[in-house]
Amino acid sequence: MKQNLLAATPPMGWNSWDCYGASVNEEEVRGNAEYMATHLKDFGWEYVVVDIQWYEPGANSSQYRNFVPLVMDEYSRLQPAENRFPSAAGGKGFAPLAEYVHGLGLKFGIHIMRGIPRQAAHAASAILGSEQTARDVAHPNSICPWNTDMYGVDASKEGSQAYYDSLFQLYASWGVDYVKVDDIAASRIYGYHKEEVAMIRKAIDRSGREMVLSLSPGPAPVEEAEHLAGHANLWRMTDDYWDHWHLLRGMFERCEKWAPYVQPGHWPDCDMLPLGHLGIRSVDGGGDRFTRFTHDEQVTMMTLWSIFRSPLMFGGELRDNDDWTLSLLTNKEVLHLHRYGKGGSQVALNEAHAIWTSEDEQGNHYVALFNLSDEALTLQVSFEQLKVSIPNTIRDLWQSRDLEVVNEGISQTLPQHGSVLLKFK
């Protein structure tokens, strides 16, 4: 599958939703791209993704304004709102912003909703390359329960594939590298939109440009794992994830279920990293704040995402990062595991703790110990239990220090919700 070659390692980048909701503007995108180029690019971070409703001139938070006019061209295709993205003026779309991001050595992505704009269907607007109109291909009974922008597209109608083809031809002309499609992996009303996923995959392949395809929201159905892997590069295995311990705790079961399907080119997605400065104009997660996760919880989240090999999409305003937050994103030893690990699996899980193991292409073994309880906990694990030989060295990757090797195994005292990530050589 061609798309497998495109995302050979889990994508890493920034997405505007957690800090700006639907209202991000061009200055904010450029500013975060500049930060990434300066501070993160050398560590593998590369995607800059504009999330939902870039076509809505009046968007001001994560609360959608229902049934408002959207910016659209004559072929039923949404366009960036020029008051928020001035470089789009004159019909240039996102091409100038993508060019700017590319000039920094990074890649550019956008969020879209599945389907065709309702206003296009109501106006019977044209579809490029087809005699059918938006009204002909729209599926008015296939709607998103939390956003009023779109109708689904009826795959059985002539002109439906032409619409999606025209959409991705437009994105290819803009220079888009990454497309996050929403209300498609696990619609609250209709489940997995298999037919529209297939049309989108075909449209990308016909566009002449390689684009990473991300599907949201979750939880995507594990029984559709083969179809997901055959059409997309990543798919959400959870609904929107925020900085609450119970959501992080629940991710251990999700990761265990999806671990067998983690492969180059297709990545079950734990969702964005709610770190740093959040909620500037995104009220869904709790308003303007720095992450509610403690330092220990932040390390636990980064450890699980890394050993499981979830895509890493930072959600906060990058320019407000402190040294601590930056350190979480630039640990080369942890990121090596994230990029090159294999066989990550959960070998123990109960109310108090979890244990994950993995290895890399050099045959080094990794062990992550997690304290899931609300008090300090000492975990003792033998090398026999881990099914590894006594190593020559044990390295604590977050502390960047070697530990004493004891023949019996490892013993670690972890704080509440804390973790340790060890490399055996």
CA atoms within 13 A on the CB side of 4: 8
Per-residue pLDDT of 285-298, as tens digits, reads 688 999 999 999 99
- Give the pLDDT means over successive 10-residue stretches in the chain (425 positions): 77 98 98 98 98 98 96 98 98 98 98 98 98 98 96 98 98 98 91 96 98 97 97 97 97 98 97 97 84 98 98 98 98 98 96 97 96 97 93 97 93 97 96
pLDDT of residue 85: 98
Q: What are phi and psi of 49, to 5 degrees?
A: -115, 125
- Provide the pLDDT for residue 2: 54
**Residue 286: what pLDDT?**
80
Q: What pLDDT digit, counting tens, does each position of 37-90 carry?
A: 999 999 999 999 999 999 999 999 999 999 999 999 999 999 999 999 999 999
What is the reported pLDDT for 10? Answer: 98
> Would you call 277 helix, strand, or coil by DSSP?
strand
The predicted structure's pLDDT at residue 407:
85
CA angle, corner 23, sides to 18 and 25, nearest 5?
105
Structure tokens at 58: 């009046």
Please report where in the chains the tokens 């971070």 appear, as a residue: 45
Ramachandran class of 343: left when φ > 0, alpha when ψ lies in -120 to 50, beta otherwise: left
Lookup: tokens for 75: 């072929």
How many Cβ atoms sit within 10 Å of the Cβ of residue 409?
A: 15
Which is it for strands 178-182 and 212-215: parallel, antiparallel or unpaired?
parallel
pLDDT score of 285: 67
Residue 283, pLDDT score: 77
307 phi, psi to nearest 5 deg: -75, -30
Q: What is the pLDDT of residue 188?
A: 79
Task: Give bridge partners of residue 396 from the DSSP assignment.
Answer: 401, 422
Neighbours of 102 (CB within 10 A): 15
Q: 175 with 196: CB under 8 angstroms? A: no
Count CB neighbours of 2 within 10 A.
Answer: 10
Residue from 343, 386, 339 nearest 363 by CA: 343
Strands (E), 12-118: 12-15, 47-50, 107-113, 116-117
